[in-house]
Amino acid sequence: MPISKDVRLGTDVKIFHLELVNLYGCAIGDETKIGTFVEIQSGAKIGSRCKISSHTFICEGVTIEDGVFIGHGVMFTNDKYPKATTADGRLQGSADWAVEPTRVGARASIGSNATILCGITIGPGAMIGAGAVVTRDVPAGAIVAGVPARTMSLAENIRSAAAPT
């Protein structure tokens, strides 16, 4: 898998296996770390000092601000109504759909295997639980989990923090 010539890499970006990522047309900020089997598509923007774990897919239209943690196998989407073909049966092309942008605020954390639907904002410092399906905006500092992801109450946060590991 390649790193295209049109990728804008900041200084001291660490890509653990250059031959096992697929990066094209994206921008990646200073000191960001990118794991194995990550794809970052054209038009995606990754901030500085982020960690993008292995097997993650970041599509066109996604903006990730500085200091964000992305767990293993996180999937972003950019089309609310995906289709392979048009109504007349033609293979769908770029003119047949619109990218729905998604923003992940600074210092947010997204747990492994979360799915982030398009057109939403995850606020700064928010935490997304592993396996969550995020279908709507997440406020700054909120903790969400589940399918669909819902904000956890203070009591739930205390119980989960105190649970034996």
CB atoms within 10 A of CB 18: 12
- Confidence band (pLDDT; 50, 70, 90) for 2? confident
pLDDT higher at 153 or 3: 3
Cβ partners under 8 Å of residue 89, min gap 6 = none
- Confidence band (pLDDT; 50, 70, 90) for 22? very high
* Region 64-88 average pLDDT: 96
- Confidence band (pLDDT; 50, 70, 90) for 162? low
* Region 101-126 average pLDDT: 98
pLDDT at position 75 over 60: yes
What average pLDDT does the chain have?
93
Q: What is the pLDDT of residue 159?
A: 58
Q: What is the pLDDT of residue 88?
A: 93
Q: Per the structure block, which two tokens stand in for 42?
A: 């054209």
- Among candidates 34, 42, 41, which has minimal Cα distance to 17? 34
Rounded to whole angstroms, how far apart are CA atoms 71 and 131?
A: 10
pLDDT tens profile 25-62: 999 999 999 999 999 999 999 999 999 999 999 999 99
Is the pTM for the entire model greater than 0.85?
A: yes
Q: What is the pLDDT of residue 94?
A: 86
- Confidence band (pLDDT; 50, 70, 90) for 17? very high
The residue type of 133 is V
Q: What is the pLDDT of residue 140?
A: 97
pLDDT at position 97 over 80: yes
Q: Are 23 and 4 in contact (CB under 8 A)?
A: yes
